[in-house]
Amino acid sequence: MSNQMYNRKEIKKNARGIVKRGYWLFVMVCFIMAILTSAYAGSVAVANAYDANNETTEAVQNKISYNDNLETLNQLYAKLMSRHQDASELEVDLVIMVFQAVAAVTSTSSSMMTFLRLLNASSNGTAIIIITLLGVGILLSFAYNIFVQGVLLIGEKRVFIESRACPNVSVVRLFMPWRYRVVRRFAWISLKKWIFLTLWSFTIIGGFIKTYEYAQVEYIAAENPSLTAKEVFKLSKKMMRGNKWHLFVLDLTMLGWQILSMLTLGLLGIFYVNPYITAVRTEFYVWRRDSLDEQGKLALCDAQLAAYLGDAPYDDNENSVFVLGAEKRAHRPIHADRKYTVQSLILLFFFFSFVGWAWEVSLHLFKDGVFVNRGTMFGPWLPIYGSGGVLIILTLRRFMKNVPLTFLMAMVVCGTVEYFTSWFLEVTKGIKWWDYSGYFMNLNGRICLEGLLVFGLGGCAFLYFIAPRVDDVIKKIPLNVQTTLCVILCLFFGADTVYSQFHPNTGKGITDYPTKEQIAQSLALKK
C-alpha cells in the first residue's frame, strides 16, 4: 500500500491474509496478552466465568459474606458506642439500622468493607502494617501496569509488524523488551502516555482525540526503541495528523466482531477477533508509515525491520539481535535449557514456594483487608507451588523449543499436582483448603480452567525466565553456603511438615469452605 490513498477494504484484506499466514502465533500472542494485560479483557470471560446460579455455592457464599460483614460492622459499632456513652436510644437504633443495611448490601470483597476492616483494626498495631502493605500493593500494581503491561503492548506490536513478511517469528518475540534490555525505555514511554491521556481525559473530548493522536506510539517504539519518548510522541502526532477520523471509523467497523466475541464469552475473540483487529491496526500503521516523508522514515529506520518490510527475508533465530540504532548491541538472552544442580533445585523449590505463599497472602489481603497465613503449613511457603515449579523444570526442558506445547504441558503438570494435592488433603484431613465449585470447567472443585491458564503461563515464565535468572544468582553463592542453606531450610520445612500433620493450619480465610452438611442446611433454610 506504499504511497497509496487510504483504502479501508485493502487494509482489512491485508490483515486477513496476515492472520491466515501466522494464525497460531497470533492466537497464542493475543491469548497471553489477554491473561497478562487488560488488552483483551473480554476474551478471558469464558475462563473467569463463575456460575452465579449454582444454588449450593450461592447460598453458602452469600451467608458467609453477610456474616463476615456483620461481624466487622458490629465490632466497629461497639467502638463507636464506647466513645459515645451519652447517645440517645433513638440515635443508637438509627446507627444499628444503618450498620445492618450496609452489611446486607456490601460484599466481603468490596473496597468499603476493606476500609472498614482497616478502621476496625486502628486500635491495635496491625492497622499500620496492613495499611503499609496495601500501599505497597498499590505501588506494585501501578508498577505492573507500567513495567509489564505497558511494555508487553509494545512487544506485541513488534510481533505483528515482523510477522507481515516473516514466517518464522517465535512467540518468545513478545518478550523481546526483556531479552534486549529496553524495558526502562519502553516503560517510560508507557508511563508518559498514561499521564498524558489521564490529564487530557479531564477535558472529555480532549481525551478522546489524544487517544487516537497517540495510537501509533507502541508501534513506533517497537520498530525503533532507540527513539526518545519525545521523538516517539512527535512522530505519532505527525502520522495521525488528518488521519484520526480514519482510524476511528476503522475501529467502529470492528464493533460487530467485538459483539460476536462477547456473545461467545470471548471464545471467538481468542481464536479470531483479537488477532484480526490487531492485524488491522498494524496494517493501518504500515499505511501511515509508508506515507511519511524521508525524514520520518529515517527516524523509524530499524535495519532489520526496514529490510524485511519490503521483500527481504527475516531470520528470527537465537542469533538475530534487536537493532538499537547507534547504541551498543544488547546482551544475548540467557540459556534456559540448562542443567540445574541439586542445590539449585532445592533452593528454587523454596523460592517458588515462597512466591506462591506471598501471592496468595497478597490476594487475600487486598480482597478482604486482613492478613491470612494461607496454606496447610505455618511457614512462609506453599509447597504446591514449589513442587509444580521443580516438576516443570525436570519434565518440560525437552519441550522448550515448542512454546505452545510447553504451555499446555505446564497446565497438565500443575493441574495434576493441584488436583491430587486437594484430593489427598481432603481424604486425610477431611478439610478443603481451596474449592473452585461454580467456576467454569472445574473438576470436582479441585481445579478449574482459570487456575490452569494462570499456572500454564506462570510455569512458562518460571521455566524460560525466572528459574534461569534465580539460578544465576545461586551460582554466585559458594557451594558450601548453598549446601548449608539447603540443610537449614529443609530442617525448618521438615519440622513444619511434622507439626502440620497433627495440627494443620486452619481457620478463617484458610479452610472456611462449606461442608456438605452446611450446604444441606443452607439449602433447607433457603427453601
| pLDDT score of 55 | 43
- Cβ neighbour number for residue 503 with a 10 Å cutoff: 9
Torsion angle of the four alpha carbons 245, 246, 251, 252, in this order, in degrees rounded to the nearest 10: 70
Q: Which three cell numbers stand for residue 497?
A: 511438615
| pLDDT score of 315 | 42
Q: Residue 368 corresponds to which amino acid?
A: D
| pLDDT score of 267 | 80
- Within 13 A of 138's CA, how many CA atoms are on the CB side? 6
| pLDDT score of 34 | 85
| pLDDT score of 253 | 94
Name the one residue in this structure whose C-alpha cell is 512454546.
403
Q: Kindly tell me the sign of the dihedral angle through the C-alpha atoms of 123, 129, 131, 134.
A: negative
Give the gyration radius of the chain's Cα atoms. 27
Q: Per-10-residue mean pLDDT for the chain, 527 residues long?
A: 73 92 87 84 61 45 48 54 51 48 45 52 53 70 89 93 80 82 92 93 88 94 88 92 93 92 84 93 90 64 49 39 38 70 94 88 70 81 90 88 86 91 84 77 83 85 87 92 95 92 75 54 52
Distance in angstroms (rounded) separating the CA atoms of residues 83 and 423 = 50
Domain boundaries, the chain: 1-37+87-332, 342-526
Name the one residue in this structure whose C-alpha cell is 542443567.
339
| pLDDT score of 100 | 46
